[in-house]
Amino acid sequence: MTDVVELAERLIACPSVTPASGPVFDALEAMLAPLGFEVDRFIAGAGDGDDAVENLLAIRRGPAGSRHLAFAGHLDVVPPGEGWASAPFAPERRPGPGGEVLYGRGAVDMKGAIAAMVAAAAEVPAAAGTLSFVITGDEEGPAVHGTRALIERIRARGEVPDLCLVGEPTSVHRLGDTIKIGRRGSVNIFLEVAGTQGHVAYPHLADNPIPKLVAMLAELDALVLDEGTEWFQPSNLEATDITVGNPAHNVIPARASARISIRFNALHTGAELAKRVDAIARRHGGSAQAIVSGEAFLTPPGDFSALIADAIAAETGIIAELSTTGGTSDARFLKHLCPVIECGLVNATMHKCDEAVAVEDLAVLARIYTRVANAVFKDVGEMVA
């Protein structure tokens, strides 16, 4: 149960394009049950098609009053795509310049990290404290019935963890060089301008929505949302789509639409930014509909981040950088439960063809997670104050 590479191979061998269900959860349950975990698997959502999401909550309880550390992550993966040198769901070890490398979809994001968590759990005494796994099958998808449903389940059971470690691939160049203590928020806003269709030779009888949309986008593009903060880079607004869909060269279209995406720091909220964009859209005769994917959050540097950094330094000699860069993750939901930090493998090949992880990195990450768990269960300060 402690061979982290074999554990990773067992998970990779289960095709689990989002939303994941069935065999990959069977494999994880088979790993956790012999270690003393009580495994709760449940389906959230409508129960049919892509709306059905499988989740897993596994708990191994320690002595009454002991700390509770949650390992969190996801078993779903993005579609493999074309151009792999080997079958994406047939894990394969190959020699690499720095040692053996394991290939397969999910090797980095993030079945490898979950395997490291299982290997760590096998090394941590059950009597040391309460350890849990919070695992979803829908992080790469809509993320509506995944971790949010797990959070509801955890609260309903009254087993909220004190601290949570998410295994997202946070490392950039070398294992352990970066850990995430927060993430920027994300909001997608759909813009539309309605006009009046007409002949291009008679513009006075029509109302062209395109100039209005272009002016709207120009004003939005000129916005400087902020200059960043101590822990966050400046917020950025990007146009991601413009659509008119007019097949005729001699017709003024009836409507034009666009989409923008804003990644924002803790100086803003999704609702505030949506309101600001809506006001600009209205000034140009348009409308705006916003979908907030997540709010910015920060787990302030302190005992928890220091404990993880110490574990990394002990195993690798690297001084980890504390960062809030990158995209969103399910940490944006888990932060409502307790302090959360992300620490995982090198992310260079995630979502790419020939996704791969160094075999040695899997072993080292398992040892890092073991150190973290053992330190959490010791008297290391008021980390949850």
Question: What interhelical angle do 111-123 and 4-12 show, nearest 10?
Answer: 140
Catalytic residue among 54, 76, 162, 315: 76
342 annotated as a binding-site residue = no
Catalytic residue among 9, 54, 139, 330: 139
Concerning whether 76 is annotated as a catalytic residue, the answer is yes
Concerning whether 51 is annotated as a catalytic residue, the answer is no
74 annotated as a binding-site residue = yes
SS (H, E, C) the chain: CCCHHHHHHHHHCCCCECCCCCHHHHHHHHHHHHHCCEEEEEEECCCCHHHCEEEEEEEECCCCCCCEEEEEEECCECCCCCCCCCCCCCCEEEEECCEEEEECCCCCCCHHHHHHHHHHHHHCCHHHCEEEEEEECCCCCCCCCCHHHHHHHHHHHCCCCCEEEECCCCECCCCCCEEECEECEEEEEEEEEECECEECCCHHHCECHHHHHHHHHHHHHCCCCCCCCCCCCCCEEEEEEEECCCCCCCEECCEEEEEEEEEECCCCCHHHHHHHHHHHHHHCCEEEEEEEEECCEECCCCHHHHHHHHHHHHHHCCCCEEECCCCCCCHHHHCCCCCEEECCCECCCCCCCCCEEEHHHHHHHHHHHHHHHHHHCCCCCCCCC
9 annotated as a binding-site residue = no
Q: Evaluate whether 71 touches 376 at the Cβ level (below 8 Å).
A: no
100 annotated as a binding-site residue = no
140 annotated as a binding-site residue = yes
Query: Binding site residues, as ranges?
Result: 74, 109, 140, 168, 351
Query: Binding site residues for Zn(2+), as ranges?
Result: 74, 109, 140, 168, 351
> Would you name the residues annotated as active-site residues?
76, 139
